[in-house]
Structure 1
Amino acid sequence: MVEIAGSKGYAEKAQQFADDYESVTFEKVHNPVRGFYPGAPANVLDIGAGTGRDAAALARLGYRVDAVEPTSAMRKQADLRHADAQINWIADSLPDLSTVRASGKHYDLLLLTAVWMHLLAEERMPAMQHCVGLLARNGIMSMSLRHGPVPAERHMFDIPDEETIGMAQECGLQLLYHKVYKNDTLGRQDIFWSYAVFRK
């Protein structure tokens, strides 16, 4: 599969990124919004799953997890670190998610953790429409959104929360939760995150 622009830099530094991601627990990243997640064994789609940290944690809790990751080097890291977890890996990517959509499957929970910032302006609405289309009725979509300076070598954008929330609502989602957290789990002083949770 051809590597996409948003995955630029991940293949070259897969080991480094994997070490960084795996140094932070699923609980630390998701505890602010875990209360909105449906109970197991719900169907979960982890989009931009990286090393599989979150997908593996959910699979071990009894969820049925499909994990989307376009970068083969990151999927290899996932194989090395989470071989015991029951995860269905899919080589696919935003904005099209063409392989996932072709399956005809719908999900109770969509996770977009540190992935939305890789999309160009013209890709965001199609991506949102496809994500909404993959949600089951009353399905939950949880997003973490990155803010702060963008490294020069990365295909990444600081997207205003208002834009993302507005697109989600325009596509028919109900905003359940939105909060800005002025800290970064990796301790970077100039980076902060916000969370947004929606229901279909």
Structure 2
Amino acid sequence: MTRPAGTLGYGEAADELAVQYESVTFTEVHGELLAHYPPAPAAVLDLGAGTGRDAAALAALGHRVLAVEPTPELRAHGERLHAGSGVRWLADALPELPAVREGGERYDLILVTAVWMHLDPAERRSALRTVGALLAPGGRLSLTVRHGPVPAGRRMYNVPAEETPALAREFGLRVVHRASRQDLHGRGGVHWTLFVLERPA
């Protein structure tokens, strides 16, 4: 698989990023969103799974989890750190997710955590169409969006506040939760918008 432009810089920094990602817990990252996640057992898709921190936590709760990570170095860390977790791994990438779509499965919960800002506006539109079509009826999409300065050597875009709700409406999804928070790693000027979107049953 060709490396997507949005993963620029992640392979080279994978060792450092693995430590950073694993330094916070699934509960810390997803906190207030957890009330909107389906009970186990559910079919879960974690897109841009990184080191598999969230995927492994969800598998431990009894969910059936597919972790998708386009950066091979991060995927290797995840397979090592969370060996035996029951998580399945796949190399694929937004916005089109050809390998995921080939599987033909629909998901009760899809996570897109700290990924959205790597996609340009056209890619975000295409990605939400793709992801929305992968949701089972009543399924939910957890989406976290980063705002703030772009680190050197990374590809990130500003995501306007109302773009995500507007795209959700366009693709038949409804916003069931929206919130904001400061950065968990204390990076200056960085804050996040959190969404949970639902495909009506």
Same fold by TM (over 0.5)?
Answer: yes
Residue by residue over 1:57-110, the C-alpha shift from the partner in whole angstroms, topping out at 9 and shown as x without a partner, is 000111000011001000111022111211111100000001101111000001
1:78 matched to 2:81: no
Cα distance in 1 between the residues matched to 2:96 and 2:7: 15
Cα distance in 1 between the residues matched to 2:87 and 2:173: 27
Aligned residue for 2:110? 110
Where does 1:82-93 land on structure 2 (aligned, <5 Å)?
A: 82-93=82-93
Cα distance in 2 between the residues matched to 1:27 and 1:197: 16
The alignment partner of 2:110 has SS state of strand
Contact 1:149 1:158 in 2 (8 A): no
Give 1:125 shift: 1.1
Number of aligned residues: 199
Give 1:152 shift: 3.1
Contact 1:56 1:85 in 2 (8 A): yes
Task: Name which of structure 1's ranges 6-15 and 155-164 shifts more when overlaid on structure 2.
Answer: 155-164
1:28 matched to 2:32: no
Where does 1:20-59 land on structure 2 (aligned, <5 Å)?
A: 20-59=20-59
Q: Which amino acid aligns with 2:195?
A: A
Percent identity over the alignment is 49
The alignment partner of 1:20 has SS state of helix
TM-score (norm 2): 0.97
Q: Which amino acid aligns with 2:16?
A: Q
Cα distance in 2 between the residues matched to 1:79 and 1:47: 15
Task: Name which of structure 1's ranges 162-171 and 56-65 shifts more when overlaid on structure 2.
Answer: 162-171
Give 1:160 shift: 1.6
Cα distance in 1 between the residues matched to 2:161 and 2:68: 23
Cα distance in 1 between the residues matched to 2:3 and 2:112: 19
Aligned residue for 2:96? 96
Aligned residue for 2:190? 191
The alignment partner of 2:50 has SS state of coil
Aligned residue for 2:3? 3
Unaligned runs of 5+ in 2: none
Cα distance in 1 between the residues matched to 2:45 and 2:161: 22
Give 1:124 shift: 1.3
Cα distance in 2 between the residues matched to 1:168 and 1:31: 22
TM-score (norm 1): 0.97
Give 1:187 shift: 1.1
Aligned residue for 1:152? 152
Cα distance in 2 between the residues matched to 1:161 and 1:83: 38
Residue by residue over 1:114-166, the C-alpha shift from the partner in whole angstroms, topping out at 9 and shown as x without a partner, is 00111011111111100000000000001111010112310111212311121
Q: CA RMSD in A?
A: 0.8
Cα distance in 2 between the residues matched to 1:138 and 1:161: 25
